């Protein structure tokens, strides 16, 4: 198992030249290059990369931006250990992971009434 840590998005991209991770845990708020930009560039370098985003808020715009960039999972930083383990297992298997609370919030905001 290879484990690496990057202090910012630029360092993360440099590590992708060296390693082929099974899973990336990506923070959104980083210096030098933020998570969203790093995800976009990483997916261009390594299509199919499994990225699980860790974020402080569950704002729908953030979730959608990360999904559109290529992240397949999203977990709040204050989630418990069990939630994080569940997310990691799903994403490692190549499945999407968005907690029920986030899916419900997204669906509620997407309802259009004519």
SS3 content of the chain, % helix, strand, coil (to 5): 45, 10, 40
25 has a pLDDT exceeding 70: yes
Domain definitions of the chain by residue range? 9-97
In the prediction, which pLDDT does 41 show? 95
How many whole angstroms separate alpha carbon 33 and alpha carbon 12?
9
Percent of the chain exceeding pLDDT 70 equals: 85
CA dist 36 and 17 (Å) reads: 19
* The CATH number of domain 9-97, selected from 3.40.50.2300, 3.40.190.10, 3.30.565.10, 3.40.50.920: 3.40.50.2300
Buried b (16+ CB within 10 A) or exposed e, 41-58: bbeeebeebbbbbbbeeb
Q: Model confidence over 68-95: pLDDT tens digits? A: 999 999 999 888 899 999 999 999 998 9
Give pLDDT, residue 104.
Answer: 44
- Quick one: tokens of 114? 């004519």
């Amino acid at each position: 198992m290879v484990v690496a840590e990057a202090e910012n998005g630029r360092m993360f991209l440099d590590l992708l030249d060296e390693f082929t991770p099974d899973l990336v845990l990506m923070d959104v708020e980083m210096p030098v290059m933020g998570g969203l930009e790093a995800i976009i560039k990483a997916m261009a370098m390594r299509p199919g990369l499994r990225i699980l985003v860790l974020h402080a808020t569950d704002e729908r715009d953030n979730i959608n931006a990360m999904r559109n960039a290529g992240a397949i999972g999203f977990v709040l930083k204050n989630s418990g250990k069990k939630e994080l383990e569940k997310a990691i297992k799903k994403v490692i298997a190549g499945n999407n992971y968005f907690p029920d609370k986030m899916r419900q919030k997204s669906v509620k905001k997407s309802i259009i009434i004519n």
